[in-house]
Amino acid sequence: MQNVTELCRYSQKKIIAVVKSDAYGIGVEYIAPLLQGLPQVEAFAVASAEEGVSLREMGIKKEIIILGGILREEVEAIKSYKLTPVVSDREHLELLKGKNVKFHVKYDTGMGRLGFTEDILIRDHRITGIMSHLSTPADREFSLYQIKKFENIVKKYKGSFKIHIESSAGIIYKVPYTTHTRIGLALYGEKPLRNYPINIKPVLELKARVISVKEIPPKHPISYGRTYTAPCKMRIGIVAFGYGDGLIKSLSNRGYLFFEGEKLPIVGNITMDMTIVDLKNSPVCVGDWITVVGPEQSFGDLARCAGTIPYEIMCNISQRVKRKII
């Protein structure tokens, strides 16, 4: 994975690879073994103990950090599968009392989600990491405020810890006192910011087959709700990919699919299993492959079109979409 090399070269730090939510919908069973083979990836991060257990069961031996809190019923699995939970609440400390479990501590420096808001020093020999999270990496002023606040907390800890606050977007701050970055999106080739200074390369493609090509007469409506009506005689293609596969419905009459580099507008409502595109003069035939995400269009482009973020579109790609490593 060339993106790992680029990200490490930029930050000069090792990576904690974030593979939560099935590696952002890509398929963690394909992604995690690839990442595990790279020396620059020192640990993995997932949301829950359950996700951590499935990583262990697929043979992941490196450290697995559980970002999403600790529940009573997860403590046994955390211990027996040697997972590293993050303590972000007094209750988590209670749950780990007397247990031989290494953990990281999380501070809320402005994210307003998990973590201690007071900069209390927790004295516990089991602590191996200290972390925080940026809420608005695109906002330089606020991010620098969070980074400063985190620095003042980190200073109080004596010893050797994994210290991490930078995500895919946050990496641009090159925080001098952290030891690791905590990267998800950028590993998968999606840029988290418009002017991203790191040369990451797209690695994902999403394709679907054309199952019908036809001509429709003027005034003929297209799809449920008749939200589009053919202004003139037109050629349309029915693509076997709908919101049941992850193409969110808000791309109806807004988004594009591609055929050999040519932009094909989505016409009418996206349905569960099918999407209709205006073929114009494109020489598309039944059985052809249409690009949903590829060189012509990233998840970020689709997200902008739909008024959301690439993370949401990626996590929506459903299980029936077959995954393949090339």
Ligand X SMILES: *Cc1c(COP(=O)(O)O)cnc(C)c1O
Nearer to ligand X, 166 or 278 (CB): 166
- For residues 150 and 139, what is the distance between their CA atoms, to the nearest angstrom? 16
Of all residues in the shown chain, the one whose CB is closest to ligand X is: 184
Between 170 and 268, whose beta carbon lies closer to ligand X? 170
Q: Please say whether the beta carbons of 290 and 207 come within 8 A.
A: yes
- Is 48 a residue that touches ligand X (CB under 6 A)? no
Amino acid identity, residue 4? V
Size of the site for ligand X (CB under 6 A): 12
Q: In the beta sheet, which residues pair with residue 206? A: 293
Among 17, 153, 163, 183, binds ligand X (CB under 6 A): 183
From the list 52-60, 183-191, 273-281, 316-324, the region that binds ligand X by CB under 6 A is 183-191
- In whole angstroms, what is the distance from residue 187 CA to residue 127 CA? 27
Q: Nearer to ligand X by C-beta: 167 or 223?
A: 167
Could you tell me the two tokens for 164? Answer: 């991490």
Alpha-carbon distance of 287 to 210, in angstroms, equals 5
Q: How many helices (H) and strands (E) does the chain have?
A: 9, 16
Considering only 13, 14, 92, 133, the residue that binds ligand X (CB under 6 A) is: 133
Measured from the CB atom, the residue of 104 and 274 that comes closer to ligand X is 104
Binding region for ligand X (CB under 6 A) out of 69-77, 180-188, 196-204, 265-273: 180-188
Please report how the helices 28-36 and 49-57 are oriented relative to each other, as an axis angle in degrees rounded to 10.
70
Give the CA angle between residues 160, 163, 167 to the nearest 5°: 160
Give me the phi and psi of 259, to 5 degrees please: -130, 115
Where in 139-178 is the site for ligand X (CB under 6 A)? 167-169
CA–CA separation, 158 vs 234, rounded Å?
70
Closest separation in Å from C-beta 133 to ligand X: 4
Min CB(184)–ligand X separation in Å: 3
CA separation for the pair 9, 14 (Å, rounded): 9
Report the residue from 67, 70, 83, 303 that binds ligand X according to the rule CB under 6 A: 67
46 is a contact residue toward ligand X (CB under 6 A): no
**Out of 18, 60, 200, 293, which residue is the one contacting ligand X (CB under 6 A)?**
18
Least Å distance, CB 161 to ligand X, is 17
The least CB distance from residue 244 to ligand X, in Å, is 25
52 interacts with ligand X by CB under 6 A: no
Please, what is the minimum distance in Å from the beta carbon of residue 99 to ligand X? Answer: 23
CA-wise closest residue to 317 among 233, 247, 241:
247
Residues 203-262 touching ligand X, rule: CB under 6 A, are none
**Residue 104 is a binding residue for ligand X (CB under 6 A):** no
Tokens read off for 75: 């403590």
**Is residue 13 a contact point for ligand X (CB under 6 A)?**
no
- Please spell the DSSP secondary structure of 76-140, one letter per residue: HHHHHTT-EEEE-SHHHHHHHTT----EEEEB-SS-SSSSBSS-PPP--TTEEEEE---S-TT-H
Tell whether residue 293 is a contact of ligand X (CB under 6 A). Answer: no
Which residues are annotated as catalytic?
Answer: 20, 224
**What is the nearest approach in angstroms of ligand X to the Cβ of residue 242?**
26
Q: How far is CA 236 from the centre of its chain?
A: 33
The residue (of 259 and 311) whose beta carbon lies closer to ligand X is: 311
Exactly one of 184, 237, 242, 268 binds ligand X (CB under 6 A); which one?
A: 184
The footprint of ligand X (CB under 6 A) covers: 18, 20, 67, 133, 167-169, 182-185, 192
